[in-house]
């Protein structure tokens, strides 16, 4: 199953409390909570390029499954992480006490980040 495509955010749960826990300033949280983001994913075998555009902010991450890569987090911090693939439709990584799971089901991508007992869930549809 290929992740390649463009996906538009449909809805999200727990955005504000999760961003506060990440340490984002309140004004950025308020600006970002209602913006529709578009994720563009290009998959070439085990290599991925993910570009997320939210308003005027563009975040681009490139990684290869199973290899250490530098990833930009939602708060702009750059960290080293290893992304693994589970089955043929799930990307999983652990970074700084957070677990990130990106799951593709048909035309829907569900992105779940868990930190302690707080979970951010974002659902995007292929456009």
What number is the average pLDDT over the span 64-81?
92
Distance separating alpha carbons of residues 122 and 36, to the nearest angstrom: 11
- Name the band, by pLDDT with cuts 50, 70 and 90, for residue 31: confident
Q: List the structure tokens of 2.
A: 């290929």
Domain parsing of the chain, residue ranges: 5-126
What number is the average pLDDT over the span 52-58?
88
Q: List the one residue out of 48, 108, 115 whose CA is nearest residue 75.
A: 115
What CATH number has the domain spanning 5-126?
Answer: 2.40.128.20
117 to 67, 97, 114: CA distances (angstroms): 28, 11, 7
Name residue 63's beta-bridge partners.
Answer: 48
Distance separating alpha carbons of residues 34 and 74, to the nearest angstrom: 15
Reported pTM: 0.90
Residue spans of alpha helices (H) in 15-109: 15-22, 26-32
């Amino acid at each position: 199953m290929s992740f390649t495509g463009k996906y538009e955010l449909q809805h999200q749960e727990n955005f504000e409390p999760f961003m506060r826990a990440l340490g984002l300033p309140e004004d950025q949280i308020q600006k970002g909570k209602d913006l529709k983001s578009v994720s563009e994913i290009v998959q070439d075998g085990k290599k991925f390029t993910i570009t997320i555009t939210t308003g005027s902010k563009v975040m681009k991450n490139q990684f290869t499954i199973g290899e250490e890569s530098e990833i930009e987090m939602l708060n702009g911090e750059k960290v080293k992480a290893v992304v693994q693939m589970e089955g043929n439709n799930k990307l999983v990584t652990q970074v700084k006490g957070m677990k990130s799971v990106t799951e593709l089901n048909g035309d829907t991508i569900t992105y779940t980040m868990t930190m302690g007992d707080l979970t951010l869930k974002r659902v995007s549809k292929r456009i």
